[in-house]
Chain A
Amino acid sequence: MNRREFMDALERQLQDVPLEDRIDALQYYEDYFEDGGYDKEQDIINELKTPENVANIIKRDLGILKESNGENSENNKTEYKNYRGEYSTNNNGNYNWTNDSQNMNNYQTYNETKSNNKFDKRLILIIIIITFPITIGPVLGFFGALFGIFVAVFGVAFGMYAGGIGCVIGSIALLATGAFADASIVFGVGLILLSIALFVTLLCSFMCRVVIPSVFNGIRKLIRYFRDGEATA
């Protein structure tokens, strides 16, 4: 295994590490190889044992990997030996660093799920781009409708307040003319309108606090999902 292969394998092993920590660790080991120089390349790889070993140390520190025992380092040693034997006979670039069939299967399934995942992401992105002329209508329509509902609810609230206040003021005016019965009816209607207005106000605040943030959150997550995929691709 050379430096490039080691780093590629390490990157694959760190797929489940948060992007920032992954980049940080990879940068550290890139630096390390670079500073050690070409002469030290094999020495460094020999001492680091396997990419898996390095990845496990990083993950254990991050709390992603829990198990930690002396047995583990023993395993790593034998794995490394096996890998050396395997690689010299099997020179097709598929460096299987272990003869242990169970481990190898794990590694392969891991690789498959990973590439499937990447493939899926790309596929979704392509579908989105291809169907863009068709989907753009409904998508914009959805946001338009959302906006419409917002404006309507605010409008209703505003109208109710205006109507309610108007009725209350009107009833006072009617009271001045001596029409007590009329005044009390108009006053009652005013109070009903105001109470509806208060209810709609609650609806407004719910929309502002819950609906708008969750829509933006959703958009942000979607963007991050694709950007993350591109960054690691």
Chain B
Amino acid sequence: MTFTTGATLLDAVVLAIVSEENEGTYGYKITQDVQQVLEISESTLYPVLRRLQKNEFLDTYDRQYDGRNRRYYKITKEGVRKLEYYREEWDNYSGRITQCLKGEVGV
């Protein structure tokens, strides 16, 4: 990928992906889903999830699966609000970049 993905954009993508699952989702699946969108290493996501959890944008709970505890991540109300904010910011930002790159500035 030519363009690099900053920490904030990664936060936004993870929040968007987790928010898709009403019941919450788990680390492995989140990584797979993010990898559909961005080129990230499997070791990248743990600190991101941990940070989002610390900031109370994500909540975790353990649920039995296949005779073991699996950790699930769920978006919080605070997280939904943050995601809304990111969406607006992204529209703004990407809109301006698109305009610029396509030579539509001032049109």
Contacts and interface: CB of A to CB of B under 8 A. Distances in A.
Contacts of B42: 32, 44, 47-48
Contact of B28 (A27, A32, A54, A61): A32
Interface string B18-49: 00000000111101000000000111101101
Interface string A52-75: 011001101100000000000000
B70 interface: yes
Q: Main SS of the interface on chain A?
A: helix
Interface in A8-36: 24-25, 27-29, 31-32, 34-36
22 contacts: A25-B50, A27-B71, A28-B27, A28-B46, A28-B49, A31-B26, A31-B27, A31-B71, A32-B28, A34-B66, A35-B26, A35-B27, A35-B70, A47-B42, A47-B43, A48-B41, A48-B43, A53-B43, A54-B43, A60-B47, A61-B50, A61-B51
Nearest to A60: B47
Interface of A: 24-25, 27-29, 31-32, 34-36, 44, 47-49, 53-54, 57-58, 60-61
Nearest to A30: B68
B11 to A, nearest CB: 13
A57 B43 CA distance: 8
Give the interface residue-count category, chain B: 10 to 19
A58 B47 contact: yes
Contacts of A31: 26-28, 70-71
Interface of B: 26-29, 31, 41-44, 46-47, 49-51, 66, 68, 70-71
A49 B42 CA distance: 10
A32 B68 CA distance: 13
B43 A35 contact: no
A35 B51 CA distance: 22
Contacts of A58: 46-47
Nearest to A37: B28
Q: Which 8 A-B pairs have the closest CB atoms?
A: A35-B28, A61-B47, A47-B42, A54-B43, A48-B43, A32-B28, A28-B46, A57-B43
A34 B64 CA distance: 13
